[in-house]
């Protein structure tokens, strides 16, 4: 009986989607290479240890791979049982960042939670939790009022109070995308979409630094020593790379010129060292990942699986698009990490766990 129970919860003899797994492993290893490459100077200046960031990232990648393996065996249908408590815990984590001694603030933003030596960004956790909860909620009926409550609460906590507009935008893209795919009433969808756009505009115009980011977007070199410094340095790095790049390890802008060089701005180092060609290859891999995820969602054996795979794909895809678009000045700069590439423990852990679930859904689809 116990063995039967274990077989019900964990899939046996898995048939992995090897192309998806291969691309993710490549992106993760490439991310480790770029974190090591981009962080040497910053790590030595800040911690006296040039290998500080890469050692931390290796630990988180190891945990993430454990999560990937676990969720690739664990039947995704059982996630419905923990959807509500997981979501509530993730919202609680968003609130805990405002408690002195637990929350960590930087640059006027409250986005991190520090417990002992572990730092977590709850915004990454809440995206993951919300996808599972909305997939559970929408599998039988679209409840618009509850959906709207969830969107407003999380958007206010992340975008307004934590001052993380980038994560709030990605969260809304995920939430509204899942609402649309779940056949939410179009009568409500359009007004809600308009309301969301107006909300973003409101967040921008009520914050001086966000207005300056928009001005920097409109003219990246208007104030290269002031509010447009960040984007101007990013564009200088990308331009310096040319078509083939300067070569691995040869970036000059990573030496204390580019802000957030290991996290949000890491693609600028990729472009400088691997050039336009390297950037296009990286973007193509993310496009492949997006197409794979949508294909898995289409072939999922049940409604919950379709919504779950769609939500996870929207998350990884929209986060990559927002980060890359900001790096090439198609949109204003946002504080959003590039999946699998940027430095950040909670992000890589959640991203790899998400891939584990996609592999699980794909594996079950092959049996139907």
184-212 b/e (C-beta count within 10 Å ≥ 16 → b): beeeebeebeeebeebbeebeeeeeebeb
- For position 367, what pLDDT does the model report? 52
pTM of this prediction?
A: 0.90
Residue numbers in the chain where pLDDT is lower than 50: 1, 4, 6, 11-12, 368
DSSP for 246-314 reads: S-TT--STTTTTSTTTTTTTHHHHHHHHHHHHHHHHHHHHHHHHHHHHHHHHHH-SSHHHHHHHHHHHH
Q: Give pLDDT, residue 105.
A: 66
pLDDT at 291: 95
DSSP characters over 6-60: HHHHB-SS----HHHHHHHHHHHHHHHHHHHHHHHHHHHHHHS-TTHHHHHHHHH
Our count of domains for the chain comes to: 1
pLDDT at position 166: 87
Q: Which two tokens stand for residue 260?
A: 């957030």
Q: Which pLDDT score, from 0 to 100, does residue 223 have?
A: 83
What confidence score (pLDDT) does residue 108 get? 58
Q: How many CB atoms lie within 10 A of CB 351?
A: 29
Task: Residue 56: give the domain boundaries.
Answer: 2-365
Q: pLDDT tens, 189-227?
A: 777 778 777 877 877 777 787 888 888 888 888 888 888
Q: What is the pLDDT of residue 206?
A: 76
């Amino acid at each position: 009986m116990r063995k039967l129970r274990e077989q019900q919860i964990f899939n046996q003899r898995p048939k992995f989607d090897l192309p998806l797994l291969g691309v993710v492993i490549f992106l993760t290893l490439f991310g480790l290479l770029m974190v090591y490459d981009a962080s040497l100077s910053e790590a030595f200046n800040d911690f006296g240890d040039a290998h500080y960031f890469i050692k931390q990232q290796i630990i988180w990648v190891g945990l993430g791979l454990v999560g990937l393996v676990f969720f690739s065996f664990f039947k995704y249908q059982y996630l419905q049982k923990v959807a509500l408590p997981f979501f509530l815990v993730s919202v609680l984590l968003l609130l805990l960042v405002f408690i002195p001694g637990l929350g960590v603030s930087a640059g006027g933003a409250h986005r991190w939670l520090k417990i002992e030596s572990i730092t977590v960004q709850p915004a990454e956790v809440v995206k993951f939790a919300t996808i599972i909860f909305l997939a559970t909620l929408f599998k039988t009926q679209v409840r618009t009022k509850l959906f709207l409550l969830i969107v407003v609460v999380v958007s206010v906590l992340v975008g307004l109070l934590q001052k993380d507009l980038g994560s709030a935008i990605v969260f809304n893209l995920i939430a509204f995308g899942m609402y649309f795919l779940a056949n939410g009433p179009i009568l409500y969808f359009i007004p809600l979409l308009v309301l969301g756009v107006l909300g973003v505009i409101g967040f921008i115009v009520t914050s001086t630094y966000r207005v300056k980011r928009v001005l920097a977007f409109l003219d990246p070199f208007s104030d290269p020593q002031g509010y447009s410094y960040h984007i101007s340095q990013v564009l200088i790095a990308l331009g310096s790379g040319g078509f083939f790049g300067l070569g691995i390890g040869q970036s000059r802008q990573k030496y204390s010129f580019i802000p957030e060089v290991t996290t949000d701005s890491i693609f600028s180092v990729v472009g400088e060292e691997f050039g336009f060609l390297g950037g296009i290859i990286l973007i193509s891999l993310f496009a492949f990942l997006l197409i794979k995820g949508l294909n898995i969602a289409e072939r999922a054996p049940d409604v919950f699986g379709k919504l779950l795979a769609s939500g996870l794909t929207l998350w990884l895809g929209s986060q990559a698009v927002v980060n890359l678009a900001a790096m090439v000045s198609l949109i204003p700069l946002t504080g959003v990490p590039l999946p699998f590439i940027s430095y950040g423990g909670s992000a890589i852990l959640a991203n790899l766990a998400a891939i584990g679930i996609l592999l699980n859904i794909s594996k079950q689809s092959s049996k139907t």
